[in-house]
Each structure stands twice: as C-alpha cells, then as structure tokens.
Structure 1
Amino acid sequence: MTNRSSFKLALFLLFLVNEVVAQTFEAEADLRARFEYRHGYNDLFSNDADPGVFVQQRTRLNLGYSAEKLQLFIAVQDVSTWGDTRQILPVDGNDSFSLFQAYALLNFNENWSTKVGRQVISYDNQRIFGGLDWAMQGRFHDAALLKYQKNGFNLDLGTAFSQEQPKNEGNTYRITGFFTYKTMQYAYLKKAWDKSSASFLFLNNGFQGFTGPNNATPDDVYYRQTMGSYFQFPIQKVKMEGSAYYQFGKANNTTDLSAYQLSLEATYKPGSTLFGLGIEMLSGTDQEGASKNKSFFPLYGTNHKFNGFMDYFYVGNHANSVGLNDLYAKANFRTGEKSNLLLKAHYFMANAKLQNNADKYLGTEIDLVYSNKLMKYVNLNVGYSHMFASDSMSLVKGGKPSDNTNNWAWVQLNVNPKLFSLDF
C-alpha cells in the first residue's frame, strides 16, 4: 500500500470515528398496569347491572437514535387486558401488538427541521392536540411536519393524508372512527417570553362523507376548521392561562358548523400546596328546534385531562350534543417527600337548551388522586371519583337513570426504566 493510499485510509477511518462518536442509541421500557372498578364511569350506571372490574396493561419499548442532524424514534407496544388470551396459545389471540411511533427528525440547520412518520402531536395544554397518555394505547398521527424555531418563536406546519391501503383507482377512505380524518393540514405558531407565552393554531380537517342506507355510499369530503389561541402569563404570584377557539365549516355532509370554546384558569402556590380555580365553556346545540350545529368538539386532545376524570364528556362521547359549562376548583397537597394528593371538584351545566326547557344543571363530580414515587422509575397512583348526577344528566346520556350510584376507583403502577444508553 502506498503512502498516499495509507493517508486516504487514515482520513477515512478518522471520518468514521468522528461520525461514530457523535451517535447515541437509547432504549427505555414503559410498563403500566391499571386496575379499574367501574360503577358509572363514562356513562350513568344502568339498573340491575354489575360493575365492570378488570386490569389493563401497556407494555411499551422505546428505541431512540440521534446523530448530529438526525433523530430516529421507534416505539412498539402491546395493550391487553389480563386474561384476554387463553393460556398456552402459541400466539397472542387478541391482536394487541402495534406500532405506536416511528418517525425521523431531520435538522437542516439550527432553525429548520422536518419530522416525518407516525408520531405524537401535542401542543400547549393538550386541549386540541395531545398525546392522550392516560389511554393505554395513546394517540398518534401519520403525518409530516416542517418546523422552525428561533429566539423563542416556533412555527410548525403539518399535513397528513390517510388511506387504508395502496390503490390503483379511487381514494375513498373507509376507516371510520371518532373524527378520523382523511386529510389534515395545520399551522401552529408560538411565541415565548420570560414567564409568558401565546400560541395560535389553524387546523383544517377533511372527513370522508357517506350517504344512502346505512351510510354505505361514498360522498364528497367535507371540511371542518378550528382556529384559536392559548396563552399563559403571571399576575404577581398567580399564574393565568386560558384559550379561545372557534370551529366552523361542516359538521357532516349537509350541516353547517359554528361553535366555540373558551377557558380561563388561575392557579396559586403559596408553599407546597397548589390551588386553582377555572371555568371552561364549550358551545352546544339545542336538543329541540336546532337548524345549525353549534357543538364544539376538541378533536385530538387529551380530553381525559379536562371536565372530570370520569370521562362523561368528550372522551369518545358528547359529540354534536348540548355542549358544556364546567366550573371547577382544585387543590394539590404535598403529603410526603415523594407523594401528593389532588382534589378536584367540577360543577357541570349544559351550554345549550335541553328538551322541554329542563334545568341545565347536569351534576357535580369529585375527583381524588393520590400519587407516590415508590422508587426510581416506579410510580404508584390511586384514584377515586364520584358523580352526583342530576335528573337532566339522563337527557344527555340516552335516558339512563340518574339516581343510581355512579363512582369509579382505580390503582395504577407505572414502571419506566431507562434500559441503556450507548454513545459510539
């Protein structure tokens, strides 16, 4: 080998070493098991029924790779209920294994990047876009994002186009679900200051329309737009945050939509205890005589976080309904070095008119959640919620009785260790 060839080989090896040193590979586990006792969770409890009792588990493996201008992330998971597969079967019988995230993040320079693939999209307080981590399966989007950031300013442009499989002809999208979109485009802008921030979101969703008997005939795509702002700022020792959104376009193939969401919350933490008071208003449609849909729906947010932990509203339900006015108060107490107790109370009213001009008061919910960090990577949560439903609640819950006991209890163990991290 000549000296020139040796020099070239040495430069090549040096280049490889420099590239290798700048790379990192990480692996994390996410195991979550949750016991639940449901006696009126998500809906009023029926007469002569038995409560639902089960244990659900999520087992997730997160794999991340990063280099100077490239990041890759893959998360696979199994979500199952204890006992849903008969013992000694050679395969899992419930088809519970899935790909949760798989994306690439390419950094063009210090300001511009793109993120492409299956990913969680989450902004602000997660009211419109959120990861929905409470649900074992979480929420993801198959999307492409163009991102810009500089001096506290962020801009995200996102787009998605959904199909159930490759096709040679036609674009009908037959996968249905709660606001499952065929196409999506959005722009998100945020500016952060010292202890304040404000953001603006414009979201356009296209949904596959169907007509005819049993909605079996494909129709044109109809579009729903959501636009608005989220903000937070301090007033001395009080933290203020709120949002205002407006939805318009089409509620379905033939019905126009005009709806709004308003919220404002104040929190104060004089010592180790946090106190909060807030209100949220989500517009609704009158149960009688309505010619236009006025029902706001928060679409792809972490809706379990809002309007009571019993999920009576906007968690796979309450769409195109009478809306909600939610007045709430909360207190988070430190109970130990690594533990705390959250107490939250909600006063619910319908936003629109109920049939026969019934009283708009729907009920009061009390939520208790105890959290304790047992050891490194291990957290325990225990919760109890009780819904004191009014007679009017049955008018928005399909006529179910409102005088039964409606409560819910749960215990959850989270184990989230970092398995290893390699720099090479």
Structure 2
Amino acid sequence: MKKVFFIVAVFAFLGSAFAQELDGWKLNGQVQLRSEVDGRDFSNATHPFTYASLRTRLGVEKTFDKKLQFFVQFQDSRVFGEEGNPNTDLMNLDMHQGFVKLMKPFDWDINVQAGRFEVVYGTERFFGMSGWTYVGRSYDGVRFSVLPDCWDLDVFALTLNEEVSYIGGPSSSVYPYPQEETPSQSIYGFYKKNKISDASKFDIVGYYEINREDVGLDTNRLNVFTIGGTYWGNYGDFSTTFEGAYQLGGRSGVDVGAYLLSFQGAYKVDIFSFGLGADLLSGNDPETADKHEGYQATYGTGHKFFGYMDYFPSNAAGLGTNDFYFKFTATPKESDFNFALDFHQFMTNQSVLITSLNDPDGIEESMLGQELDLTVKYNFVKNTSVSWGGSLFFPGELMKVFYAPREDAAFWTYLMITANL
C-alpha cells in the first residue's frame, strides 16, 4: 500500500503545484470498465458466466528542451470481487509504461527510446497494444527511430523473459562454473514506413524471435524469423488493405514454414460503409509431423480481426484459420451514436479426418462456424464512450467435435465504459 500512497501523493502534488513550476508537464489516464455475460461454451444446459473487469491507468509525461521525453504510466487491472474480502487488496499495481526518449542525441538524426513501452504498428496485425484486454501489452527494451522525419525506420530489441535477476554485488555463488546458457526470450526487429503517394503506402516489418531454453543438443526452443508487409490504398470512396507475412526457422528443432495472407476492401456511401475481406493463417498438415506450418500471430491484436468472441486462432487446434467476413458500419451525421455489424465465416486452413462409430471411414471437415457481431457505440463526452456489443456463434462440425457433447449456438454480450484523460 505504501507505493500506492506515494504515487497518489506525487500526482496530487503535480495537480496542485504552480503552473510556472510545472510548465510542460502533462497528466494522462484511462478507466476502462466492462461487464460481460459469457455463454461461449455452446451449451444451453449451462448458465452463462458473468464478470466485470476494470483497468485503471494514470501517467505523467514531460519533454525537456525538445531533446528528452520522460514518460511513466502506472496501471491497476482487476476483476470485480477478485480480492475476496473488502478489507484487503491485490497489491497488483504495476508500471505499464516507463521510458525516456532521447531526440537526436549527438546531433544524429535518430531518436532513442529505452525502458518499458507499447509497440504498436500499422493495423496492429503484427504488433499491437491489445487494448481490449484488461491488462494490455507492453515490452521492456530499446527502440531506435532512424531518420524519423524522412526515412521513418524503427529498429528495436525487446526482452520477453530473462532468468538473470539484478545482481547487487558479486559472489562466487552468483556465477556458476562451468557456466550454462541462461534461458531468456527476446525479439529483434524493424518496422519501415513507406509513403508511395497521397493515396497509398506500404509498410514492411521483420522480426526475429528467440527462446534460448535448450530442448536438445544445440537446439533452442524457438528460433523464428517473420517478414511481412501492409499495403493501404485509397481510391475515392473505395479503400483496400493487403497484408502478408511468412515465418521460417525452427520450433524445438522442427523446421517452420508458415504464412499469413489478408485482403480487405471497403466502399463508403454517405454515412454507410460496406466491406469484404479474407484472412488466411496457415495450419499444420495432420499428415506431416516434420514441419511446423501453423502461423503464430503472437504479438498482434487478434480481437480486431478474428471476431469479437475471441475463439480464433487459438480454437483451431493448430489447423490454421481461414476467416471470410463482411463488415457494415453506420455513422449518422450530427449523432453521438455509431453502429457496426460484422459477419464471419470460419474454416480451418487444413482439413482433418473426422471418424465416428457410425462412420469409421470418416469424412474430411474444415468448417468451424459462423459468427455475428453487433456493436453500438455512444460518444458520451469528448474522450469518453459507452459501448454495447452482442455476438452469436453458430458452431460447425469441427467446433461441435472440439466442444463435444456441447453443440448449441453460443452467445456473448458486454457493456463497456472507456474514459480517457
């Protein structure tokens, strides 16, 4: 509790001090509160789960002499009733972001950001903040922005896991001999933005993931390189987005060869927008065990792409996910409301043989099901919105097998308030 009181005291001081003493200091914050009714188990014989989550963020930032940016943001994430007792607390206050950014040090045309920060690029297909969840996503690392005003290239090194703790002072017990490789997991990558014209742009991303845990002689758990790109095109009322990526390397000594392909097209008519698209994530062929062919979309914001019920790609049993979808939005003029309706047809990328007592020979299946998502958003005041969403999922043959004996339609709904400071 002491650190909570300290942080509150600091922000209280910042808010009450003289303006001339705090010139340039900015407060930022967010409260995201969401109540959910969860009937995603495909059974009408069970009652749905109900729960509410709360994410609270409070931060402060300042830029000094246009050369140094200081930013720190604290976060508390909880589910209502998680404490189990009104006289206790979770002690789960954490630093979501905390970094310094050096602008053009030594008069070099680069910016250097170091600390803990969010990594968000493009559509969030490859790197996203995962803003829907009640925790979000941020990384420890360093990022170099090279020629940010013209070339616009980011190069970054991120640490996901490190087994070596802080060493305050040396001792013989701290340094084992013979030395063994320390398990750790890192990402090294780049993101390059390219403006082709006023109507189009093309971004390129590449990153290398390594998990140094040994799973065999000279074999790490993970060595995978991903290379991909995103193209945006705007042609009057018609717009397109193409995305693609390929993964290669190894997972636990098994070769990796996987792909992602995505196409979206949207047409705007007055206050309405109509869109069609397809996302293809490759999957493992059940007939081959000597290669990993399933694309891993680990760091993107999957909630934006694969239906709001969040079944996929994790519920595809490693077979990959093919998502064909239709999107409709309505944004009435001079109204605080907007509406969205999405329909998804989900299939596995690789079919699988399903057998039964009645059909021992089996049949090839790939149908996962259909999802319908309806969203209504009300812009209450500036930077504050109230959203309601409701979704239905009609299971295909594979989902009925995965969730057997449950095979009813699934449902899910929520009410959410998002207030930004």
Range into which the TM-score falls when normalised by the shorter chain = 0.7 to 0.9
In structure 2, C-alpha distance between the alignment counterparts of 1:355 and 1:318, rounded to whole Å: 17
Aligned residue for 2:228, secondary structure, equals strand
State whether residues 288 and 355 of structure 1, in contact with CA within 8 Å, keep that contact through their aligned partners in structure 2: no
User: Which structure's relative contact order is higher, taking Cα pairs within 8 Å and 6+ residues apart?
Assistant: 1
Give the CA deviation at 1:334: 2.1
Distance 1:141 1:171, change over 3 A: farther
Give the corresponding residue for 2:15.
none
What's the CA shift string for 1:179-232, capped at 9, x where partnerless?
xx71211021111231311111111000143549xxxx9963531110011110
Q: How does 1:80-229 map to 2 (within 5 A)?
A: 80-89=78-87, 91-92=88-89, 94-108=90-104, 109=107, 111-150=109-148, 152-161=150-159, 162-164=161-163, 165-166=165-166, 168-169=174-175, 170-173=180-183, 182-192=185-195, 193-209=197-213, 211=215, 220-229=220-229
CA contact (8 A) 2:400 2:407 kept: no
The TM-score with structure 1 as length reference comes to 0.83
Pairwise CA distance, 1:283:
0.5
How far 1:50 moved relative to its partner?
2.9
Q: C-alpha distance in 2, partners of 1:261/1:287?
A: 19
Q: Which amino acid letter does the alignment assign opposite residue 185 of structure 1?
A: Y
In structure 2, the residue corresponding to 1:359 is in which secondary structure? strand
Q: Which amino acid aligns with 1:172?
A: T
SS of the residue corresponding to residue 37 of structure 2 reads strand
Equivalent of 1:349 in 327, 347, 350: 347
In structure 1, give the amino acid aligned to 2:308.
F
- Note the residue ranges of structure 2 that are not aligned, 5 or more in a row: 1-19, 168-173, 355-362
1:389 alignment counterpart: 395
**CA distance change for structure 1 residues 319 and 394 in 2, over 3 Å: closer, same or farther?**
closer
Decide which moves more: 351-360 or 192-201.
351-360
Deviation, structure 1 residue 236: 3.8
Q: Identify which of 54, 57, 70 aligns with 2:54.
A: 57
Deviations 1:156-194 (A, max 9, x none): 111134414236445533xxxxxxx71211021111231
CA displacement 1:303-345 (0-9 Å, x = unmatched): 111111100113xx24870101111010111246111010000
Find the aligned partners of 2:32 and 2:141 in 1 and give their Cα distance.
27
Amino acid at match of 1:232: W
- Structure-2 change in CA distance of 1:249 and 1:23 (3 Å): farther
1:367-397 per-residue CA deviation (whole Å, 9 max, x = no partner) reads: 01100011233210000011011122244x3
Give runs of aligned pairs for residues 356-375 of structure 1, distance below 5 A.
Answer: 356=354, 357-375=363-381
Report the equivalent of 1:28: 28
Q: CA RMSD in A?
A: 2.4
Would the alpha carbon gap of residues 209 and 64 (structure 1) be closer, same or farther in structure 2, given more than 3 Å must change? same
Aligned counterparts of 2:43 and 2:214: Cα–Cα separation in 1? 33
> Who is 1:258 aligned against?
257
Letter in 2 for 1:387: F
Q: Matched residue of 1:139: which SS? A: coil
Q: Which residue does the alignment assign to 1:282? A: 281
Q: Is the 8 A contact 2:344 2:372 kept in 1?
A: yes
Asked whether the equivalents of residues 26 and 62 of structure 2 are also in contact (C-alpha less than 8 Å), the reply is: yes
Give 2:207's aligned amino acid.
L
| Mean CA deviation greater in 326-335 or 22-31 | 22-31
Tell me which amino acid in the other structure corresponds to 1:225.
Answer: F
Q: Answer yes or no: is the 8 Å Cα contact 2:186–2:211 preserved in 1.
A: yes
Where in structure 1 do 4 or more consecutive aligned residues deviate above 6 Å? none
- Which secondary structure does the structure 2 equivalent of 1:206 belong to? strand
- The one of 330, 341, 350 aligned to 1:333: 330
State the match for 1:405 in structure 2: 409
Aligned residues of 1:209 and 1:218 also touching (Cα < 8 A): no
8 Å contact from structure 1 (residues 152, 191) kept in 2 = no
Relative distance call for 1:312 and 1:225 in structure 2 (3 A) is: same
Given that 1:34 and 1:56 are in contact with CA atoms closer than 8 Å, whether structure 2 keeps it comes out as yes
Q: SS state of the match for residue 193, structure 2?
A: strand
Question: Taking structure 2 as the reference length, what is the TM-score of the superposition?
Answer: 0.83
* Preserved CA contact (<8 Å) 1:285 1:353: no
